[in-house]
Amino acid sequence: MKALSYARSLLIKRSSYLIIQRNMSLIRDKAFVNGEWVTSSKGKTFDVVNPTDGSIIGQVPDMDVEDTNAAIQSAYDAFKPWASTTAKERSNFLRKWFNLLEDNKEELARIVSIEAGKPFKESLGEVFYGNSFIEWFSEEARRIMGEIAASPAKSKEMLFVRQPIGVAALITPWNFPHAMITRKAGAALAAGCTCVIKPAEDTPLTALALAKLAHDAGIPNGVINVITSSRENAAALGKLLCESPLVRGLSFTGSTGVGKLLYQQCATGIKRVSLELGGNAPFIVFKSADLDKAVAGAMASKFRNCGQTCVSANRFLIEEPIFDDFVEKLKATMKNELKLGKDESCNTGPLINISQLNRVDSIVQDAVKKGARVHLGGGPAKDLGERWYQPTLITDVKPDMVCYKEEIFGPVVACIKFKSEDEALKIANDTPVGLAGYFYSGDISQCWRVGKALEVGMVGINEGMISCTEAAFGGVKESGIGREGSHHGIEEYTDVKYLCFGNL
C-alpha cells in the first residue's frame, strides 16, 4: 500500500509538471549557453519544486565544472564584440528586452509564484520591480561618462574613460529570482560586460525565462549565459566562477557566510567583487511616532515574501511609553491583514523549504524556552503543508535569545523595549552586519541624528518600503561591498582608465 501511495503521489506531481510545461511558453528545461539551450555534459538533471505543495514543476540540467567552463568561454568570446558596441546600441538591446519583459509580465509572475512560493500579486510586484532595472539601465547605458582633468603641465592633456571590466559572474538568490538577476545583468550589459548567471537551485526557471526573452530581444549569443545546478554542485561552480582567469568580476547576493567564502576565492585573481549579504535590520519606534503609520510600515517591511528578504525588519525596538499600544495595534493588524493560503486572495505564502521552516521554528522555540511571550502564532501552519509558518509576534525578548542577535528570515516579529535614544542605537548597532534600518519619529532633529547614527547602508525614516530602481542598494560592515541600482550600479562593472596625451 505504501508503494502504491508513493507511486500515486509521483504521478500527481509528474502530471502537475506536464500541465505547467504545456501552459507556460517561457518554461525551459535546459540551460542557456552561447545562444543555445543545452543539457549538462553528464546528462544529469534535478527537480524544481513548488514550495506551496511540494509538487514538481520542472527539471533542469545539473551542470558541473565542465559545463560552467563552457559558459565562461562563451561569455569571454562574446566580450570584445559586445564591448565594442556603442552605448546607444546596448541601450536599444536592453530596451527591447524590457519591452518583452513587460509584454510577458504575467507569465513571469506565474513562474516566480510556482517556484518561489510567493502569492501572485506579490510576484507581479517583483516582476514590475525587476523589469524596471532593465528599463533604467537601458537609459543609464548612454550616461557612462568620462572626465577631463586639469593638467599640471602645458605639455600634457589628461582624461579618464570608463571601460567594461570583462566577463561578470552573477550568483543570485531564491528570494527574488527575477529582480536580483535584472538588477545585476542590466548594469553589466549596459556597461559592456558579458555575464554568466548562476541562479539559486530552488528558483532556476525564472532565470531561464529571462534568458529566453533576452535572446528574443536579439541580444547576441554569449552575452548572457545561464547555468543551473543542484545544491550539491553549487560550491564547485561558485569556486570556478571566482577563480577562472577569464572572469573579471563577481556579483553575489546571499548569506554573509557564503559571501565571505566567495570573497576569499576571488582574491586569487584580484577580481572586482560586489557583495550584497545578510542583514539584521532594526525597526525602531520612538514615542513621538505616529503609531498607525509605524504599524503600517512594520507590516510592509516585515511580511513581504513571508519575511524572507534581506532588508526585512528583524529586531523591533519600541520605546517604553508606547510599547504596549504598538504591540496591540500590530497584533490586531497582523490578524486582520495577513492571509495564509494557496489561492490568489491570500497574501502570505510558505517558506522556501523545510530546512528554512525548521530554522525559523527553532528560533521561536528558543525564545519561548527562555521566557518570551507569544501573542500570535508561534509554530508551523501544519494544515497548509510542511513549509508554512504562522505569522508570529513575541515580546519579553532578551539578549540571550537567538532572535535578539540573528536574522530570522521568516514571519516573526520580536519586540524589544527600550528607554532612551542612546539605548536604542546601542542595540541597533550591536551587530556585525549593517544592510538596512528603519525608524519612526515625529521629531525632525531626532530623524537627522538617528539617520546618521545607524550603522547601515540604507535607512527608512518613517518609511517601511525603501527598495526602488533609483536607490543605491547595499550595506556596510559584513553586509557587503558595492552598490546595486541607481547610477552607482554601473560602477561595479567598469574600470577607470587614465589617458595622458603629450602635446604633439
d(CA 37, CA 77): 18
Please give the helix or strand (H or E) that residue 440 lies within, else none: strand 436-440
d(CA 228, CA 419): 50
Angle, in degrees to the nearest 10, between helices 120-140 and 179-191: 10
| 32 contacts 215 by C-beta, under 8 angstroms | yes
Active site residues: 276
d(CA 420, CA 406): 23
Exposure string (b/e) for 146-158, b if CB count within 10 Å is 16 or more?
eeeeeeeeeeeee
Residues 6+ apart with CB under 8 A from 97: 134, 138, 213, 214, 217, 219
d(CA 106, CA 128): 10
The secondary structure of residue 380, as a DSSP letter, is B
Residue that the C-alpha cell 549538462 belongs to:
40
**Residue 187 neighbours by CB distance under 10 Å:** 33
Burial label, 444 (beta-carbon count in 10 A; 0-12, 13-18, 19+): exposed
Residue that the C-alpha cell 541562479 belongs to:
199
